[in-house]
Amino acid sequence: MDRENPIPARLKQARKKAKITQKDLGIKIGMEPSSASGRMNHYEKGRHTPDVTALQRMADELDVPLNYFFCESESTAELACLIDKLSEEDKVELIARLFKG
């Protein structure tokens, strides 16, 4: 079964939420200013897929966890972001609560 790559849509969604242009994001993660906008556009259109290192830089800049880019549903993406904001102690507590029942 073919599944659509979730990275382009998640990247665009996170970038727009952060209110940053493709060019600015590209520059912030270390791309040459002259090619940053075009490269980011290719990532958001799904023509090219960024490597994990570039994705991690984007995640850091956009304040989302790396796994956010791989979430196939909106609810899973939102949960990934919410869980990422929890302290380690709260994450452990959440796991315990989820597996109680």
Tens-digit pLDDT profile for residues 15-58: 999 999 999 999 999 999 999 999 999 999 999 999 999 999 99
| Greater model confidence, 100 or 66 | 66
Give the span between the Cα atoms of 70 and 3, in whole angstroms.
12
E-state strands within 1-101: none
**Residue 2 has what pLDDT?**
54
**Residue 1 has what pLDDT?**
47
The number of beta carbons lying within 10 Å of the beta carbon of residue 83 is 14
Tens-digit pLDDT profile for residues 50-84: 999 999 999 999 999 999 999 999 999 999 999 99
Per-domain boundaries in the chain: 7-98
Q: Which residues contact 90 (CB under 8 A, 6 or more apart)?
A: none
Class of domain 7-98: mainly alpha
Angle at 60 between CA 30 and CA 50, to 5 degrees: 55
